[in-house]
Amino acid sequence: MTFKFAFFSAFLLAAITSVLLAYSLPFYWKNCIGLFLFSGLMLALNQLVQRIKDGKALTQFLMGSIVVRLLIALIGVAIASLASYPEFVIFTAHFGAHFLLFTLFETLYLVKYLNS
């Protein structure tokens, strides 16, 4: 699995998920924040992974990046809840779906990268 395939698959599935959620829940443009945030994080992570050659350092970096991404997601949801805007549940559904999809595809890509 190449990075381009993993990235575009995750982006496309996240966009489709947003569209499908928009049919059952009202759609707000704020819901796309997660899509662009996790796209940028995935691109940045790929650039950093390409520079690390040591297997142990790469594994530690990947575990740290998963924790950082989870913290960013939790902070984003916490800020949205503190703002207490009425679309909080809708925002959380979109944001959570984007987080899960990007984490899944990024993990699949990185496992293939580590095995090669």
Distance (Å, whole) CA 90 – CA 67:
24
- pLDDT, one tens digit per residue, over 66-88 is 888 888 888 878 887 777 666 77
pTM for the whole structure: 0.66
pLDDT value at residue 28:
64
Domain count, the chain: 1
First and final C-alpha spacing in the chain? 11
Do residues 49 and 110 touch, judged by C-beta distance below 8 A? yes
Task: Compute how many other C-beta atoms are within 10 angstroms of the C-beta atom of residue 58.
Answer: 17
Do residues 37 and 76 touch, judged by C-beta distance below 8 A? yes
pLDDT value at residue 31:
67
Dmax (CA) of the chain? 47
Q: Supply the mean pLDDT for the chain.
A: 77
Domain of 88, in residue numbers: 3-115
Using 50, 70 and 90 to split pLDDT, how confident is the model at 46? confident
- The structure tokens 């703002």 sit at 83
pLDDT value at residue 33:
72
